Amino acid sequence: MEEKLKIFKEKMSDIVYLSQAAAVLGWDQNTYMPVGGAESRGNQLAVLSRVAHEWSVAPEMGKLLEELTEYAKELDPDSDDARLIKLAKHEFDVEVRLPSEFVVETAQVTTLAFNGWVEARQKSDFSIFQPHLEKIVDLSQRFAAFYPEFDHPYDALLDQYEPGMKTADVKAIFNTLRPQQVELIRKIAEKPVIDDSFLHQPFDEQKQWDFGVEVVTRFGYDWKRGRQDKAPHPFSINFGMDDVRITTRVYPDFLNPMLFGTMHETGHAMYEQGVSRALIGTPLARGASLAIHESQSRMWENLVGRSLPFWKFFYPRLQEVFPQLSPISLEKFYRGINKVNPSLIRVEADEATYNMHIMLRLELEIAMIEGKVAIKDMPAAWNAKVEEYLGITPQNDAEGVLQDVHWSYGNMGYFSTYALGNLVSAQLWEKIGSEMSDLEDQISAGNFEGLLGWLRTNIHQHGKKFEPQELVQRVTGSKITPEPYMRYLNKKFGEVYDL
């Protein structure tokens, strides 16, 4: 059986490396590929996707997995081999139901959809993206139909990103969270508006870039195993744990997007860089789920990057880089970057209102999958939800329904993981604080080795060995729950707004 396990691992590594090669093409599409290359790139990705799929569901692979599943019963259930076999069997059972032609069609449609989204967003014209989104929703509905055992079609989509989580589970969590966040927002709205005008002025783009590099280098991002580039919508990507790249975008007259976007993507990338090297070449060598991934990015962006201890160290340096901030005190700057103000753009939303952006997207995605909203009506449906949840209305499609790139990738079922990641970040933060009593002092000194080390030991090294709920339970003693996050929000904004 050891020989069969060896053969299985070799086959799995071939599939992993083929998928990583496809990821390189995806990264290039988002960064440097000329617009005219979209159709050829779609064909290239379609071929790679088809080959990877066919290798994954080959009869020989199925036979090996059946035999190894029995063998795994003799192993330590938490061993790398046992967990690899369990994950691979689950992914085989998912993949084997997908016809090759469906996989090819998905790759082609989403590649063209990305370019359609870029053009539509630039022109703020949803009609350009509408036919692409119609195809993507159709693909998503057909995908869900391959898995009729789920309670709801959306469950099949969610399971791709958050294994084991059901639509009903997410709704229950959000139903608990929503009234508490609405109440907090209401209390804040009664307080004087915080002045953050100093963040909206000219900031040299190269200096912004260099400062961001300085920050994430100190965080612990390994530049020998990564790089940073510009993209229309920031993302991180893994070509293997020794090549994990980040992207960002820079606004010439607003400091926040580059600053916090770079921290966010670095959180993702450091997670991938920290996976145990024993898992290289296997499906375990990636994050446990998108919620766990988001817990890392949101932790570095918000719990660290928007904290007062962090800026006690970095603010004098920022003032050196941008002397126009010299008259702005540390306290005023801290309050400014934590200003609560319902806004239209999700990635620039404050912590108190961010989850509302996610909840409205979840409801719209479910409505699309259920066929309860026509795709042509999405701009109006989006605007109505923004008005309902945030009390404001987009003035155009670019700041409304076209602001996120995810649907162009075919990522239906993705958005709720952002809010779940916020919850997990606070659960982990409470646990870290209980074990590192000097955490704030370390951050105030610009020392992040202890924090990163804790995350490496408790989260990163495990990769995808454990399902997300299992991992959170193992580390914190509880499954994903909103209570720690609300304690964090109430404490922080209670101090910022003197509630």
Q: Which of 113, 146, 179 is the last residue of a domain?
A: 146
The set of long-range contacts for 52-59, using a CB threshold of 8 Å and a minimum separation of 24, is: 52/15, 52/18, 52/19, 52/22, 53/95, 53/98, 53/100, 53/103, 54/100, 55/11, 55/14, 55/15, 55/18, 56/15, 56/91, 56/92, 56/95, 57/92, 57/95, 57/96, 57/98
Residue 450: phi, psi to the nearest 5? Answer: -65, -45
Q: Is residue 154 part of a domain?
A: no
Q: Is residue 315 part of a domain?
A: yes
216 & 330 share domain: yes
Q: How many domains does the chain have?
A: 2
Q: Which residues contact 347 (CB under 8 A, 6 or more apart)?
A: 234, 257, 261
139 & 225 share domain: no
Q: Which of 82, 116, 146 is the last residue of a domain?
A: 146
Q: Is residue 157 part of a domain?
A: no
229 & 365 share domain: yes
pLDDT at 185: 94
347 & 203 share domain: yes
- Tell me how far apart the alpha carbons of residues 254 and 256 are, in angstroms, rounded to a whole number: 6
Domain hosting 272: range is: 167-496
216 & 321 share domain: yes
113 & 33 share domain: yes
Q: Is residue 10 part of a domain?
A: yes
172 & 127 share domain: no
Catalytic residue selected from 265, 272, 301, 365 = 265
301 & 235 share domain: yes
341 & 386 share domain: yes
461 & 348 share domain: yes
CATH of the domain at 419: 1.10.1370.30
pLDDT at 233: 81
pLDDT at 232: 83
Which residues on adjacent β-strands are paired with residue 228?
246
Q: Which of 92, 112, 146 is the last residue of a domain?
A: 146
Tokens of 130: 């509408």
Q: Is residue 162 part of a domain?
A: no
Q: Is residue 161 part of a domain?
A: no
pLDDT at 392: 93
Residues of the chain under the 50 pLDDT cut: none
351 & 413 share domain: yes
78 & 202 share domain: no
pLDDT at 347: 84
Q: Is residue 259 part of a domain?
A: yes
Closest to 74 (Cα-Cα) out of 64, 82, 63? 82
**Which tens digits make up the pLDDT trace of 399-412?**
999 999 999 999 99
Told to judge if 95 belongs to the known catalytic residues of this protein, a careful annotator would answer no
